[in-house]
A = this chain, B = another copy of it.
Amino acid sequence: MSERPLEKPKKQRQVLPAEMRVDALVGAAADLFIERGIDATTVDDIVNRAGVAKGTFYHYFATKTEVVHTLRDRFSADYLSRVASAMEACPEGDHTARLRAWIRGAVATYLANFQLHDVVFHDFTHERRRSEEKDAILDQLASVLQDGQRAGAWQVPDARGVAIILFHGMHGLVDDAIAAGQRGPEPLCDLLEDMFLRMLNA
């Protein structure tokens, strides 16, 4: 008699490098969070999609929340580097060009990632509204403003304050476009460039 194959293949215990496991879990979590939201996603869902046992999840993350934090860090780092590289193409001295580059980089990056953004910043209340991640992002823009200021390209009374206004102005405009189903960056960037430069060059 041939061996009767078990109904449940009793998945072989598979030893994999930590990094792969973490990536699989974080990736599965990201997809599911985007699909159905954080609360509606269970740890079971995550491990099922990642093809891993439940205990394995807790081997790599202390809590479900920790995955959200990991995702948040990845999101911020990615955002920062994408915008930075968008600005790198610009000559150091051309401040207007750098601001334009910031706008285009920020809009493009946000448009490309807004779903994950929604997920990872979902539970931001005022207690957490000033975070390291956000400070880094604002600093990036504030630097542009300050450099231009120092070089006499424009006058800003308060670089951080203005950075906040610009950042959230941009954010809100893109949000609205997303909600309206307009996913093209051009008209948004044009309007933002126009208004922001008017603000600075007045």
Would you call the interface of chain A mostly helix, strand, loop, or mixed?
helix
Q: Mark A142-170, 1 if CB is under 8 A from B, else 0.
A: 00000000000000011001101111111
Which residue of the partner chain B has the closest CB to A200? B198
Contact assessment for B179 and A169 in the assembled complex, using a CB-CB cutoff below 8 Å:
no
Copies held by the complex: 4
| Residues on B with beta carbons closer than 8 Å to the beta carbon of A114 | 126
Which residue of the partner chain B has the closest CB to A128? B179
Contact assessment for A172 and B175 in the assembled complex, using a CB-CB cutoff below 8 Å:
no
Q: Mark A177-202, 1 if CB is under 8 A from B, else 0.
A: 01110000000000110111011111
| Residues on B with beta carbons closer than 8 Å to the beta carbon of A202 | 198-199, 201-202
Q: Which one of A23-31, A66-74, A89-97, A117-125 contacts B?
A: A117-125
A176 beta carbon closer than 8 Å to chain B: yes
Number of A interface residues at 8 Å Cβ cutoff, please give it. Answer: 42
Contact assessment for A158 and B191 in the assembled complex, using a CB-CB cutoff below 8 Å:
yes
A130 beta carbon closer than 8 Å to chain B: yes
A49 beta carbon closer than 8 Å to chain B: no
Which residue of the partner chain B has the closest CB to A127? B179
Report if A172-B167 is in contact (Cβ < 8 Å); known contacts: A122-B123, A157-B194, A198-B199.
Answer: yes
A residues sitting closer than 8 Å to B (CB atoms) are 37, 39, 114-115, 118, 122-123, 125-130, 157-158, 161-162, 164-173, 175-176, 178-180, 191-192, 194-196, 198-202
| Residues on B with beta carbons closer than 8 Å to the beta carbon of A126 | 114-115, 118, 175, 178-179
Which residue of the partner chain B has the closest CB to A131? B179
| Residues on B with beta carbons closer than 8 Å to the beta carbon of A196 | 199
A33 to B118, CA, bound (A): 21
Contact assessment for B173 and A164 in the assembled complex, using a CB-CB cutoff below 8 Å:
yes
Contact assessment for A175 and B129 in the assembled complex, using a CB-CB cutoff below 8 Å:
yes
